[in-house]
Amino acid sequence: MKKLLLLAMLMVTLGVWFATEAAKQTPPTLATSYLFDTPRTLAPFSMTDQYGNAFTNQQLLNHWTLFFIGFTSCPDVCPTTLNKLNAAYPALQQIDPRIQVVFVSADPARDTQTKRLDYINFFNKDFKAVTAQHPSLFPFSRDLGFTYAMVGDDENYQVDHSASYVLVSPKGEKYAVFKTQMTPGNPPQIINSQLIADFQKITHFHPEA
């Protein structure tokens, strides 16, 4: 009788284990993002943050890094995005305290170190604001899947840029993209509740990252 009871308990334990492992292998259903089929390490890059410190592949290790691209003179998308990320940041930290938010300036000529420091501190002093000259910035942005282009010839030119977020894993691998969605009467945006829910599912799906 004891042997049968032990066998039953073992079978239940194994069933729970197999179910848990299967859940880990099945990609989660996400609301506003998708996972890359094969996470890929970013090519070597060298940027500078708002304090003048180097920001390279090394600074990605042991962090979940949420990237987005823009410029400090952006009239709408960038300040809206930073306000939204600032509001979401405490919840993202509760899910995984290794999260870091990085604003990539696509306007290195005007976005000096001092300007980036003042700009990002207005929203959240924990966020990073990095850039590099275009010969380095362009391939880095393209590697993340971002696009940007200068519009206009005078000093008041604008910068067209991607509005999505890219999530890089603690192994320094491009892992997921958060895509904007259309809502009536509003510009394309990423809904914070969906961002937070998806981030929780992603980190649960790959907790060993």
CATH number (domain holding residue 50) = 3.40.30.10
Query: Based on the structure, what is the number of domains in the chain?
Result: 1
Distances (CA, A) of 13 to 9, 111, 207: 6, 57, 22
According to the model, what pLDDT value does residue 3 have? 53
The answer to whether residue 33 sits within a structural domain is no
Structural domain boundaries enclosing 52: 43-205
The answer to whether residue 183 sits within a structural domain is yes
pTM: 0.85
Q: What are the beta bridge partners of residue 70?
A: 105
The answer to whether residue 8 sits within a structural domain is no
Put residue 100 in one of left, alpha, beta given phi > 0 → left and psi -120 to 50 → alpha.
beta
The answer to whether residue 51 sits within a structural domain is yes
The answer to whether residue 31 sits within a structural domain is no
Question: For the residues of 132-172, what is the DSSP string, one character each?
Answer: --HHHHHHHHHHHT--EEEE-SSTT-EEEE---EEEE-TTS
According to the model, what pLDDT value does residue 188 have? 72
According to the model, what pLDDT value does residue 156 have? 85
According to the model, what pLDDT value does residue 22 have? 42
Tens-digit pLDDT profile for residues 118-144: 999 999 999 999 999 999 999 999 999
The answer to whether residue 56 sits within a structural domain is yes
Whether the CB-CB separation of 113 and 48 falls below 8 Å is answered with yes
List the pLDDT tens digit at each of the 209 positions of the chain: 555 544 445 454 544 444 344 444 577 889 888 899 889 999 999 999 999 999 999 999 999 999 999 999 999 899 999 999 999 999 999 999 999 999 999 999 999 999 999 999 999 999 999 999 999 999 999 999 999 999 988 888 999 999 999 999 999 999 999 998 877 777 678 999 999 999 999 998 875 55
The answer to whether residue 102 sits within a structural domain is yes
Residue 177, both tokens:
């993209």
What is the DSSP pairing of strand 158-161 with strand 33-41? unpaired
